[in-house]
Every structure is written in structure tokens, then in C-alpha cells.
Structure 1
Amino acid sequence: MTTLTSTRPSWEERERRRVRRDAVASWTLLAPSIILILLMVGYPAVQMIWQSFTDYQVRHKIQGTAPEFVGLDNYIKIITRSDFPEVVARTVGIMLVTTALIMVLGVLVALLMTRIGRGMRVTLSVGLLLAWAIPPLTASVVWGFIFDTQYGVVNWALNSVTGTQNWHNHSWLLNPWTFFLVLTIIVVWGAIPFVAFTTYAALGQVPGERIEAAQLDGAGGWKRWWNITFPAVRPVLAGLLILQVIWNMKLFTQVYALQSRGGIASETNVLPVYLFRQGIGEFGATSAIGMLIVLIMLALSWFNLRQMLKEDDE
């Protein structure tokens, strides 16, 4: 008589099988998103990198001919242009100013929302949502009318306050400095709601008992913020900072719209608008400018990215 004995897999083998099943399930769920990202982001990125090293123009597309590989010629020509360093400095300067104002004012609005009553908080939230919902082009047009040379509310108000006509027909967009003042107002006004809502949500996760304990111990508002609240919301603020750096380096709609209303393009160009104005069909040159924008954004965001990755590893 033959006895059949079945051997059960060991615990290690069962664990390995479970890990493999989980990995297969995870990759199966992620596959559609990965494919979509590769098609929408990866392929255009590879195309832009390749085109930046060629003399690719619209004539190559029309004639069906292949562009020539020119190496770093596009980058050298762009970097050595007399106006390029000024455009880069202008872009970075606007990004730093707008990002600092957005982060500071957004956090202050979020703190205010934690202190006011429910009715006021709902009213403030509705106002922020309305500002956030307005498209950048629409906001630029509205603010352009507010600062209009002949019919602007700002010029009328200044004339009424001063009792003179000194501000009649005053052009805010003709002077580069006041142009960027108007631009800063538009960008900051439209971006504060996102920072305020995100920070307000993060503040709701801060343990209230720790804040109450610190208050009972005699800690002031600044000490409570710096020692308790800020460390708790720092990862969120770091993420917001990176996003604002990227978004404010890519300003196009607001700048182009204000230039169309009277700004001098050569004195107010930022990198995205500078790229757009290089000429129709200059794919090689514009791809090189796009790569330079990406490199500048990575350089500016590198410190915050390292800090975020370091906190995730801890």
C-alpha cells in the first residue's frame, strides 16, 4: 500500500509568493498611468532634447528632409545673445518676488482662517475660490482694465485722492518696473488661494493638545508656530514652494496679455515669452531654450527636492 504525502510550502515560500502577487497586482494597476505619462510627458521630452541638438526647422517638416545634428550650437548661440542674460535674470527675479509673496500671504491667510468664525471663514473661502477659478487670461484682462491708461480705476482713484490730474493718461505698462508691479499683483492674487487652502488643510492635522500645552507653558504665538506648527506643516510647505517655483518660472499668459495692452516686449520678456517670440518653426532653437528653462528650474528646486527626499527616508 502506497501512502501519498503532500508537502506544504514553507512560510518563506508563501511569503515570497504573496510578495510576487502583490508586485504583479501593483504593476498591473500602475501600468495604464505609466503608459499615459510616457506618451504625454516622456515622448515630448525626448523629442525636445533631440531637437535641441539639431537645426530642425519648419522647412524640414514641409520638405520631408532630416535635420542636421549641430551639437551645442543652439545652446551657444542662445547663451551668447546680448539679451539672454537679462531675460534670465528678469525671469528669476520675478519668480523669487512672486513666490515669496505667494507663500507668505498664503500662509497668513491660512492662519487667519483658523482664527475666524465659521461664517467669516465660509465667506473668505468663497472669495478665494472665485479668485482661483478665474482663468489667468481673464484675470490679466480685468487687471489690465483696472490699470488702463485712460479709463483705469487706479488712475481715477489716485486723481481723486490727490485732487490733481497728474495721473490722467498715466501708463502703468509702458514702464518696465510698473509693468512688473501689475504682473506681480495678478500672479500673487491668483495663486494665494491654492497655498491658503493647502496650508489650511495641513494646519488641521497639527495636534491641538500640543499647541494648548505649549500655550499653558507660556509659549507665545511665534514660539508655538516655530516649534510646533511649522515642523508639522513643513513637508506641505516644501511641496508648495517647489510648485510655486516651477509655476512662476513658466509665466506666459499674464506677461503676454499685458504686453499686448501696452508693455514693451523687449524690456518685459520672460523666458517662456522669449521662447515664443523666437520665430515660427525654429524648433531647434526653441527646444534649446526649453531645455535651459528646465535646467534652471531643477537648479532652483534642487535644495527643496533633496530636503523632501531626506525627510521621506527618515
Structure 2
Amino acid sequence: MMHIDWPWMLLLLPLPWLISRWVPAAQPIGDAVFLPFVSGLNADSLPATHSPSRIYKALLVLIWVLLVLAAIRPQWLGEPEPVPSTGRRLLLAVDVSGSMGTQDMAGDASRLQVVQKVAGDFIQHRRGDQVGLILFGTRPYLQAPLTSDLHTVTEFLDETMIGIAGTQTAIGDAIGFAIKRLRDDTHKNQHKGDTVLILLTDGSNDAGIMPPIEAAKMAAAEKLRIYTIGVGSVAQPGFFGTGGNSDLDEDTLKQIAQITGGEYFRAADASSLQQVYERIDQLEPSAARQQWYRPRAEWFPWPLGLALFLSVPAVLWSRRWH
């Protein structure tokens, strides 16, 4: 859209007319030489006096209008773009193993579907932070790097599928992978903000190379706080034993959170998961509001350049007239 930075400069537009209207013409000053024989000369032999033509006046008016248009600084504003801010770096590590497809949440929704909805809303509220997404199963991999483009991270989370990273659960490798990504990002961007990992799983560590507790100790050395979330319906006694999410290793998740200075949360349904993310939002508030800017393209060189170009024939015309 068009934007005028200095609109008050338009007040200068009638300035030449006001000067010609109210300021008297310059009068000759100094002594005059009296020539008595001039009265006897033929009028045709005297130098002719000419007033400026209409074309010359129109040219001067056009030059002045162009100068005023340049003075108001016309600009073209582009679409708003987010400005990367120096808030927290927040990584979401989401378990996508086979058990995350279990439909034991409210409304027969799978665990992953609930995580996608609630975690997506949480990401959208982290304006000012850099958010990344790690998916892990048998092995971890980076789905979205750390970025301030929260909308894209949310889309990647929504597109996640069960089993895309394997059917088992490698919690320790997921933490180690997060440490590596944050370390690389620190060396690359020299980021000095807080770093947080939210690890969400519904099972126990049954794959990978690195033990979860050893990975937690490495995270603590890197000053990485880890908030662990256990997902799935709460185990209930039944006729044939226990039901619900009996595979969840809560003791390990609690130790990981304790070692790194985070907290462990239990989410048995969508409502409790929503409360977990609200609690994390309180513990780790967004460090800064997201800032936006609109690219500006200056247009004043065009009328200014045209005015300078037209001033050349105006000067030549003025000399010829004089």
C-alpha cells in the first residue's frame, strides 16, 4: 500500500503563487545614466522585452510540483513480516511410536491427535520465542528447526503420522538429539536466551543407544531444562489386571525433569494436557512479544530525478529568454 511519510510538506505547494501574489517585484537600485538621445531613436531599434511564455510557466509549475512530491517521501509498504526476537529457544520432542495411535482419549481420539491439537495451540502462544519440533520413535529426527515462524511449526505438527520414526521409543536418543541441535544453533547464532525441551511420550525407553538418565545429566550440563509429559489414560484396576497406559515409565520421566530443573506432568485426557501446557506457559513465559515490520520502498527518487531532468531545458529556456 502507498504511504506518505511527510504529508505536511504539501503545504509548500502554493508557495510560488503566494510569493508572486503578495511579494512585490524587485525594483532596480543604484544610479541611472540619462541618455537624452534615446528618445529620438526608432522603437523598432530598441531591445525587445518578452514576458515568459505559458509553456515556460507550466514547465516551472511542473518542476515545483515534482519537488514537493519528492519532499513528502512517498513509500510503498510491503506485507508485514515477523522480526526474529531474542526470546527462549523451545524444542518440542513428540513421541510418534505405534502406541501413540491408541484411541483412549475423550471422543475416541488418539493420543497423537490430542497432542496435535493442544500442542498446536501452545505453539501459537509462544510469540517472541524460537520453536522447533523433534519427532522420535525408534530414532529421533528433526521435523522443524528452531524458528520464529510458529505457523509453519504448527503445520508440521499437524502433518505428523504414527510410526514415521519407528514403532519403538528412544527417549534417551531424543534428548541427546535435542542437545546436539541446540548446541549447533548456539554456535551458529550465538544465542544467549533460555533453552527448554518439552518431551512428550506415552511409553518407556525401549530403543536407542543413550540411556535416558545419562542424557538428562548431559542436558543439565548444557543448562537445558526438560519438562516431561506422560500421555495416555490413567491405569485403572480391572477384572483381568490393570488397563490404561501401563507401559508409561513415570519414574524415569520424573528423574529426567528433576535432574534438569524441570517438572513432570501427567496428561490423561485433552483437558489435563491443556492444563499442563498452561502450567508450562506460566513457568516459562514468552520472553518477548513477537515484533513485525513492513518493508518500505522509497519512491521519492522518481519525482526528484524527473524534476532535475526537466530543470535542464528550463535553465536553457531562461537564458534564451533573457
TM-score where L is the length of structure 2: 0.26
Higher strand share: 2
Higher helix share: 1
User: Which protein, 1 or 2, shows the higher relative CO under an 8 Å CA cutoff with sep ≥ 6?
Assistant: 1
TM-score where L is the length of structure 1: 0.26
